[in-house]
Amino acid sequence: GELLGMKEAGVTSLTVQFTELPFLDANENLHLERSSATLASGKAVDMTDVYFNVDAADAAKAGVHLPSMADLLRDDHALDKLVGQAAQPISAVNANNGNCSAHEAQACSEAAEVLRRVMGHVEAAHTNG
């Protein structure tokens, strides 16, 4: 009973265009692509793609090999491309796309920095382990 179809959930449309606004929640799940949906009542609601953090030990017990963040991203420049910043200062991000407010651009920058630090720890653990 946890999964519902869109009609059952009262969703009449989804906006497929999205904004990348990365955020790590308290469980270290990555919230990335943000958009909206329209309900049958006409109300617009926010929606977010969430990439769930998976415990490597649980995956190993299930016989699943998970690539590390470093494996997925390969280098720091890939991370910059992922969050759409290409290592530019915030003022350049705002000037280039015009879709982010200063607050959103700052959030993107902070999230990118968190991901860089996480990736650095993963790489260090991978190298030392």
Domain membership flag for residue 27: yes
Domain membership flag for residue 68: yes
pLDDT of residue 3: 85
Domain membership flag for residue 74: yes
pLDDT of residue 118: 64
What pTM does this model have? 0.45
Residues of the domain holding 103: 11-128
pLDDT of residue 75: 54
Give the count of domains, the chain. Answer: 1
Task: Read off the pLDDT of residues 50-102 as tens digits, 9 standing for 90 and up.
Answer: 988 888 788 889 888 776 666 666 555 555 555 555 544 444 343 334 455 66
Task: Read off the pLDDT of residues 6-25 as tens digits, 9 standing for 90 and up.
Answer: 899 899 999 999 898 888 89
Q: Which residues contact 5 (CB under 8 A, 6 or more apart)?
A: none
CA 28, distance to chain mean position in Å, is: 11
Separation in Å, CA 98 to CA 66, 91, 95, 111: 37, 10, 6, 19
